[in-house]
Amino acid sequence: MAALRWSMIFFLGGEVFCWINILFFFEESLLLEYLHSFFMVACLGFLAFSVMEALDHGLLHFSNPQKRCALSGVCKSCVKAKPGPCLLHRLFRWMIPIIGLVGLMPLAAQPLAISYNTSIFGIVRNLTHPLPVQWYEIRFCPAAALILLTGAWLALSWRGGTPGGTLLAKVLLAAAIGHVGFTFMRLAFLTFYRERIVWFFFWEELTELILITGVLYMLWLFQPQLGQQVRARLRALMS
């Protein structure tokens, strides 16, 4: 829950920077756009980590030494019982390079110089996606993801048998997923709507709304007591 909480905090922070940029700088502040992008990357990274932790502790029970791993039935031996190879570690060591190969794709994309005026509800606005921001999205983020994935693979290979090594690998992998996810989302929207960038902004905001709605639904589904606590606090504040 702590990772999910930080994910939502970074999401809110990113949206605050976006709101300030739109309201006061007409989306022309590169610093605010960089901050918005960084906070969205962090949001996705913490979200990925929270999903991995939920799967680990709620389904796989890999990190809990007191519980049997869910994959123990298909493993010939389990590292919890005696030293030996771990199927889950091998799966992750195979999956990390695959994510790295996918993360290489945006490095071959070229930035697009886009800027045009349009009327939105009678207000003329210049819509653009600055080239420096695109360089961050399709160059820096993939490069950072590759470095993080390399660190995750090394941590899993050298210290995967220890709780600290496994945790470090999950943290680095989640951070890499945040960078890769953000890169592909922005690159896809820009590619789809390079001629009508207003739809770029529309679908980005709608995707964020879908994300928040999905998180709230999952919390309501698996943690219904949280809703009861919120309602109780609201009643206390209103009374």
What percentage of residues in the chain have a pLDDT greater than 70?
93
Q: How far is CA 51 from the centre of its chain?
A: 10
CA atoms within a 13 Å half-sphere pointing along the CA-CB vector of 122: 0
Domain map (residue ranges) of the chain = 2-238
Q: Which has more pLDDT, 125 or 189?
A: 189
Q: Which residue has the higher pLDDT, 188 or 161?
A: 188
pLDDT of the residue at 26: 80
Handedness of CA 59, 222, 169, 176 (dihedral sign): positive
- pLDDT, average across residues 43-68: 87
Residue 23's pLDDT is what?
Answer: 87
| Mean residue pLDDT across the chain | 88
Mean pLDDT calculated for residue range 147-171: 88
Position 76 confidence tier, pLDDT thresholds 50, 70, 90: low
120-141: average pLDDT? 89
For residue 77, count other CB atoms closer than 10 A to its CB: 13
Say whether pLDDT at 107 is over 90. Answer: yes
Q: Who contacts 36 (Cβ-Cβ below 8 Å, separation ≥6)?
A: 14, 15, 17, 18, 21
Q: What is the mean pLDDT of residues 16-39?
A: 92
Neighbours of 192 (CB within 10 A): 12
DSSP 6-37: HHHHHHHHHHHHHHHHHHHHTT--HHHHHHHH
Residue 230 has pLDDT above 80, yes or no: no
Mean pLDDT of 233-238: 76
**112 or 63, greater pLDDT:** 112
pLDDT at residue 77, as a whole number: 65
Convert 169-231 into a string of H (helix), E (strand) and C (coil): HHHHHHHHHHHHHHHHHHHHHHHHCCCCHHHHHHHHHHHHHHHHHHHHHHHHHHCHHHHHHHH
191, two tokens: 């590619």
Residue 82 has pLDDT above 70, yes or no: no
Q: Looking up tokens 């030293």, which residue turns up?
A: 83
* pLDDT (tens digit per residue) in 171-217: 999 999 999 999 999 999 999 998 888 899 999 999 999 999 999 89
Residue of higher predicted confidence among 46 and 56:
46
pLDDT of residue 87: 77
| Better-scored residue on pLDDT, 123 or 46 | 46
In the chain, the percentage of residues whose pLDDT exceeds 90 is: 55
User: What is the C-alpha separation between 103 and 212, in angstroms, rounded?
Assistant: 25
